[in-house]
Amino acid sequence: MASNSALLPVTFHRFHRAIRKQLLAWFQKEAKSFPWRRLEPEEGGAVIVDPYVVLVSEVMLQQTQSARVAARLPEFLRQFPTVAALAAASKGDLLRAWQGLGYNRRALRLQLAARGILEHHSGVFPRSAQQLRALPGLGEYTVAAIQCFAFGMDVPVVDVNVQRVLSRLLFRCHGARQVMPPATVAAVAAAILPAGDSFRWHQALMDLGSTICTARKPRCSVCPARRNCASGPISQLALFHPDDVRPPEPTLCGIPRRFWRGKMVETLRHAKAGVPAHQLVAEAAKLLGYQKKMKLKEERDGLEILATLIQEGLAARTGVQEGELREGDLVMLPG
């Protein structure tokens, strides 16, 4: 894989081979077993994983913990075993199957991609970045993940965890959130790839990022790359850094709005018929453990959250379709 070598940090030239060897050896012994991960190459060639499984699991993994994805993925694949089955599913069935994974919009994005593969490629996954990028609902990361994990291509797959781990390994980071500039990360990620072993390499980086080199508290003393890591000796990494304070999330009644969204969809999953909008807001409050009586303004904000869900296709009004959402309007999962 070509990379811009002028951007590589000095430490790269000294340590990247040793780091690569250490991480791959560690992964050989410590690899986690996941339903989306095959570790043995087929017939001595590259590791091959069904691209559909890669697509579904990667979209799930983007905002859900791997243990939860591991628990939910097999059932999801039983229900929607192929691209065609996913493309043909009703939104309601899809959102019901997404239960427990959170961030429901991803389910709709996934279906958009499946429909694109069916419509433009007769249900066969394209391999080129250009064709994959042209599919609706696929971001740059997912495109690279499909190329690498499904087709064994030597392309860098960089999410926030890989960005963090590579930064710490090869750049002297002075705070838990410090990372290399994006262009440097891209150059390093491409240059450090072991040719023909890109699948295991990325899985190793991801395991290291989720178990040892975690965002807030890296456990450098047990890290397989500690001898060569540029940041390992810097104790500040283990400390809470002022940069770690995240900007506050928008809330309703002191509870993040995304939780309200999740509980509203959750209520609709179990509803047999349309639920009045105001009742849906009240149900969500109950599920969130909010016990005070909501003020008028708060109820209006709750309706506004629900209106956004309808706009995004995660819920639907029965009967009236136009105009501002009113508290008595009946809402259900989309068909």
Alpha helices by DSSP H, 34-159: 51-61, 66-79, 83-88, 91-97, 105-121, 129-133, 140-145
Q: What angle, rounded to 10 degrees, do the helices at 182-191 and 160-170 form?
A: 80
β-strand pairing of 251-252 with 275-276: unpaired
Q: Is 9 in the site for ligand SF4 (CB under 6 A)?
A: no
Distance CA 274, CA 272 (A): 7
Q: How far apart are CA 148 and CA 152, in angstroms?
A: 5
Q: Provide the residue type at 98 as one letter.
A: W
Identity of the residue, 19 or 110, whose beta carbon is nearer to ligand SF4 in the bound complex: 19
Among residues 30, 40, 58, 249, the one annotated as catalytic is 58
Residue given tokens 């591991």 in the structure block: 70
First to last CA, the chain: 45
Residue 8 binds to ligand SF4 (criterion: CB under 6 A): no
Q: Is 103 exposed, middle or buried (0-12, 13-18, 19+ CB in 10 A)?
A: middle
Tell me how far, at minimum, the Cβ of 224 lies from ligand SF4, in Å.
Answer: 8
- Smallest gap from residue 215 Cβ to ligand SF4 (A): 10
DSSP state of 251: E
Least distance to ligand SF4, CB of residue 229, Å: 3
Among 94, 206, 213, 325, binds ligand SF4 (CB under 6 A): 213
Q: Does 257 bind ligand SF4 (CB under 6 A)?
A: no
Q: Does 95 interact with ligand SF4 (rule: CB under 6 A)?
A: no
* 172 touches ligand SF4 (CB under 6 A): no
Under the criterion CB under 6 A, does residue 188 sit at the interface with ligand SF4?
Answer: no
State yes or no: residue 16 binds ligand SF4 (CB under 6 A): no
Build a one-symbol-per-residue string for 129-158: x at contacts with ligand SF4 by CB under 6 A, - elsewhere.
Answer: ------------------------------
Query: Is 58 considered catalytic here?
Result: yes
Nearer to ligand SF4, 110 or 165 (CB): 165
Binding site for ligand SF4 (CB under 6 A): 165, 168-169, 212-213, 218-220, 223, 225-226, 229, 231-232, 237
Which residues are the active-site residues?
A: 58
